[in-house]
Structure 1
């Protein structure tokens, strides 16, 4: 058995006899052996040449690089500050290596230290100046990112009619210059109320609300209006205020303007009139005696006429009424001292303690009939008068100068009599009623001569 297998194997493997047909011709075509296909993967796994290592490293590096975002010049992206030194700032923007912001590209003001502009760990927007310079570095700019964002902000404000705020940096011919991150211009006619008498210098250094009325990025032109922003704000505040106003209500307001007849008070978008007669329980000659522009005060709503846009206010309603205690402080027969506040055809008004005014009728001004009303007294002069009538419910206090002087004369006469009696000692009294009458007449004539 074994010899037969050996002979078969030897016959298969030995030389063919001459004249025998070819083995390939005798073997059926369907069983002809085919060469196995090479196993490329196994072959490559079996390689260990330096070239193969280089190819693997290249593929790995390429896959690693593709895992990071690709940036192009002009992109604006967000990054995190990772390092600050005197050369500039390193920012991680998610790429293979950090980007560099040179000092000159941090801010428009190069004198400001980098540490005052950004801080380590802070998220900032940056503009890609070069995705890869000749040294392979990513070059960024915060200044240009801020510039681009400023334009976007201004354009959005224009499109959506939003109010923005900016600092006034300069007063130039025809208006104001404001800093929006870009240069903006506010014409003088659009500052405040638009009055040409407006002092533009006072706005420098202040932040003011603005509406964008023109944007031209190509020409680097931005025109704004402070007036429109203020008008819109006033309209909003007016609507809110009007909806909440009620007669008898106490509201805080700011004195906006003084006139000879009163003051206009801003209640929050709507002005109310505070008439001079409602400023104090006592008489005042001008509103400036008790108020000044810009002063914050509390007023009471007296009347509302919203259709006509009128709101009447009172200041004195929040103050104690001095007439409420007049009946307790002044009684008929009292002698009081006051200052003449006004002279009128029918007499004189005298301001007493507490600010109330009493009236001296012309008939009570002089002790001599026919004497001119008010004769012998002047405004701001101090006088002593007698209370002859008190009517708090009518807010009326009547005084008499004549009776006060008569009582003063009688006091002097009594004093003279007492002095005479003291000098006479035990002697019989010689002072008669006739003497007293003559002395009184002489005294009255002397008083009238003094007045003349």
Structure 2
């Protein structure tokens, strides 16, 4: 053997890559065995390796050919040496771990840049959601939504956007939050709405929540409050008596406090007041049903329409003389009244009860007449006799 041949052989031997556990290598797919594993030739090393199906992808796969085909060159990492006497190769390799490493690196970059990432909810567990982002992520129950959720089953299969809360690749630990994304979106929408609306605007919203003191109206990302006193022109005892959750309503903006992100609204200000058109609704001479609301020393206030009260003066309560309205009426009593006069500008209505009742005629006592035959004198004789005396 010549010196040149020896030197060529030494160069060839030196050019053969030594394979160690943990190395990243390139492998050419030589064969696919029973859809369970692939055999690859490690380029530059002159040896073969085995990649089980579970080490081919970070996602579950059914058919190996969906991932690789014979002749493909793929990037792999050496997991362990399985012996040169093994029929299927001498090294156990993984493509999944290479892909996962790249995903972790990308996620770490997103975390540092405070960027959001996407993931698909693959499972619902007692403590929260399992999410596939290329690697396994976890969303604790308290970070799933901005409000309490009792059943997470509806999230399974959804692809959502998440904020990275905690990341530790060495421990395969990735904690995500959907709640943070929702709250950030709401804050942005709230800012846009607060910048867009002005006091006095009339806009549409949806009844989001009802409380004992009013109704919260969703204006498209920010809630405004309609106090119970601003629901209707008449007295409202409970908001649920007038409104239902999900109902679309028109509201007028009464006030905006950007610092506290509070919006005061009114529903009644978008509607005609109860006195509007009252001269037609309660025309002079008309007879109406009403409820006694208040009694005073000078008369009774009677509600004839929601939010509209008229006065029955004490002199119009009864044909009989009464010293106080309490003698004839009581609060809450339903009565019939006749309209005497109406003044829409001054919001005054004069009513009468007695105008609908018949006046009783006074009883006249009969005068006594003396029968003439009983005395033998006439009444004139008696009077004349008295004058003579």
Of stretches 240-249 and 178-187 in structure 1, the one that deviates more from structure 2 is 178-187
- 1:200 equivalent in structure 2: 149
| Count of matched residue pairs | 307
| 1:220 to 2:172 alignment | yes
- 2:129 equivalent in structure 1: 177
Q: Are the equivalent residues in 1 in contact too, given 2:206–2:219 (CA < 8 A)?
A: yes
CA distance 1:394–1:200, change in 2 (3 Å): same
CA distance 1:329–1:252, change in 2 (3 Å): closer
| 1:300 to 2:252 alignment | yes
- 2:285 equivalent in structure 1: 333
SS in 2 for 1:284: coil
CA positional deviation for 1:397: 4.1
The whole-number CA distance in structure 1 between the counterparts of 2:87 and 2:248 is 65
CA positional deviation for 1:305: 3.9
Cα shift readout 1:41-76 (whole Å, capped 9, x = no counterpart):
xxxxxxxxxxxxxxxxxxxxxxxxxxxxxxx98689
SS in 2 for 1:336: strand
Cα shift readout 1:159-215 (whole Å, capped 9, x = no counterpart):
22223455384252xx4223133443334554545xxxx643234423565321111
| 1:282 to 2:231 alignment | no
| 1:358 to 2:309 alignment | yes
Structure number with the bigger relative contact order (C-alpha 8 A, sep ≥ 6) is 2
CA positional deviation for 1:151: 3.6
| 1:158 to 2:107 alignment | no
What is the CA RMSD across the aligned residues, in angstroms? 4.9
| 1:272 to 2:224 alignment | yes
The whole-number CA distance in structure 2 between the counterparts of 1:394 and 1:76 is 94
Which protein shows a greater Rg? 1
CA distance 1:382–1:163, change in 2 (3 Å): farther
Of stretches 362-371 and 267-276 in structure 1, the one that deviates more from structure 2 is 362-371
Cα shift readout 1:109-141 (whole Å, capped 9, x = no counterpart):
56xx769x979xxxxxx87579xx9779xx999
Q: Are the equivalent residues in 2 in contact too, given 1:330–1:390 (CA < 8 A)?
A: yes
CA distance 1:329–1:141, change in 2 (3 Å): farther
CA positional deviation for 1:101: 9.7
Q: Which structure's residues are more often strand, by fraction? A: 2
Cα shift readout 1:302-343 (whole Å, capped 9, x = no counterpart):
3334356443222233334453322223212210135x4x83
SS in 1 for 2:154: coil
CA distance 1:337–1:134, change in 2 (3 Å): farther
CA distance 1:436–1:399, change in 2 (3 Å): closer
TM-score (norm 1): 0.52
Q: Are the equivalent residues in 2 in contact too, given 1:184–1:224 (CA < 8 A)?
A: yes
The whole-number CA distance in structure 2 between the counterparts of 1:224 and 1:75 is 32
Q: What is the 5 A alignment of 1:396-415?
A: 396-400=348-352, 402-403=353-354, 406-407=355-356, 409-410=357-358
Query: Unmatched 5+ residue regions in structure 1?
Result: 1-71, 78-85, 120-125, 414-434, 440-452
SS in 2 for 1:274: strand
- 1:427 equivalent in structure 2: none
The whole-number CA distance in structure 2 between the counterparts of 1:140 and 1:304 is 64
Q: Which structure's residues are more often helix, by fraction? A: 1
The whole-number CA distance in structure 2 between the counterparts of 1:142 and 1:253 is 53
The whole-number CA distance in structure 1 between the counterparts of 2:315 and 2:23 is 98
Q: Are the equivalent residues in 2 in contact too, given 1:168–1:204 (CA < 8 A)?
A: no
